[in-house]
Amino acid sequence: MTALLRAASPGLQAILGPSAPGGKVWSADLFGFTLIDGTPLSWTGWDADLTYEGVTYSSKNPWLTRTSWSVTNTMEVATLTLKLRALDEGFGGGAQIKQQIVGGLFDGAAFLLSRAFMTGEPGALSVAGTVALFGGVVGGIVVTGTTATITVKAKVNILDQNAPRNLYQVGCNHAFCDAGCTLSRASFTADFTAGATPTASFIPWASAPSNAALYQNGTITFTSGAASGQTRSIDSAGPSGLALRYPLYETPGAGDAFSAFQGCDKTFDSGSGQSCTDRNNTLNFRGYPYVPPPNAAY
């Protein structure tokens, strides 16, 4: 049976191979995240910043450590646990990183753990090459105190899904305005300003739209003020304002700007204004409204 070996760069082979000149070789973990919008975030477990192929891996706030992982020849998904410790200070020009994580910073992010090999002496080390150790996607995250515990699942996790992929259910399988729905998100998003005395959980309209109820089960994103950049689901909407499913971290002020995206009740024709019939999109409805309920199936 042929052994599976990890690829090593020419520079790494030069310091580890049989013709290596000898001397000390240092190693360190490199943690690389790629956010869903393509933004890279890079850290190292070394006690000083490291640079390799134009990428600087930060050793400063936050600090990351990891556990080991195991690989089996079954369909079991390998996982890696990261511990991220951070001070309560701004990160990336915004809120501190633990708040941004709770707000969805790492949702859908890709992750790569690499091992860097270095030559030289402490304070003047040069990274000769790296070896990729573990790649995956960010799964569950638990934030407690100064620590965020991040679970990374191996990429075979994409095989862990229902088959067939789509289930027979009354509601539509599409997310509102996704590729399958085909409707334009911009057509159902509008800009507003907060009215008098908003709270972290309720945002009054400065000027209520005539279709206020259509924003129920949609989302709201603040674009100015203390809550700028924060997004929340809308629990209910009416002429007086928007009740949020979860409170904002900071209380917005009157006159703060926000955008609101309408909701969808995923029905064929409910008459609520949020159904496929109401939006002239029945051709792309992906539900099965005539499936009998469980108590009627024999």
| Lowest-confidence region among 48-52, 206-210, 261-265, 290-294 | 290-294
Residue 204 CB-density burial (10 A; 0-12 exposed, 13-18 middle, 19+ buried)? middle
Of 159, 175, 196, the residue that ends a domain is 159
Query: Do residues 149 and 88 both lie within one domain?
Result: yes
CA dihedral 240, 244, 250, 254 (to 10 degrees): -10
- In terms of residues, how long is the chain? 298
User: In this structure, what token pair is assigned to residue 64?
Assistant: 């990351």
Regarding whether 123 and 31 lie in a shared domain, the answer is yes
Residue that has been written with the tokens 């080991």 in this structure: 68
Structure confidence at residue 2 as a pLDDT band (50, 70, 90) = very low
Domain CATH for 225: 2.40.10
Residue whose pair of structure tokens reads 């409170």 in the numeric block: 247
Query: Of 159, 175, 205, at which residue does a domain stop?
Result: 159
**pTM assigned to the model:** 0.56
> Chain centroid to CA 82: how far?
16
pLDDT tens, residue by residue, 92-118: 767 888 888 888 889 889 999 999 988
Of 124, 159, 194, the residue that ends a domain is 159
Is there a domain that residue 262 lies in?
A: yes
Q: 80 lies in which domain range?
A: 27-159
| Structure token pair of residue 175 | 């997310």
Q: Can you tell me whether residue 12 is helix, strand or coil?
A: helix
Residue 94 lies in a domain: yes
Give dist(CA 12, CA 116) in Å, integer: 9
Q: Are residues 213 and 99 in the same domain?
A: no
In this structure, the number of other CB atoms found within 10 A of the CB of residue 171 comes to 15
Alpha helices (H) in 69-139, listed in sequence order: 97-102
Q: How many domains does the chain have?
A: 2
Lowest mean pLDDT among 40-49, 87-96, 237-246, 259-268: 87-96
| Residue 127 is assigned to a structural domain of this protein | yes
Query: Is 169 within the bounds of a domain?
Result: no
pLDDT at residue 149, as a whole number? 93
- Does the residue 117 lie in any domain? yes
Same domain, 32 and 112: yes
Look at residue 45 and tell me if it is in a domain.
yes
Residue 19 placed within a domain? no
Q: Is residue 119 part of a domain?
A: yes
pLDDT value at 287 more than 50:
yes
**H or E segment and range at residue 136:** strand 124-144
Across all residues in the chain, what is the average pLDDT? 87
Q: What is the model's pLDDT at position 71?
A: 67
Indicate if 147 and 31 belong to the same structural domain: yes
Where on the phi/psi map is residue 295: left (φ > 0), alpha (ψ -120 to 50), or beta? alpha
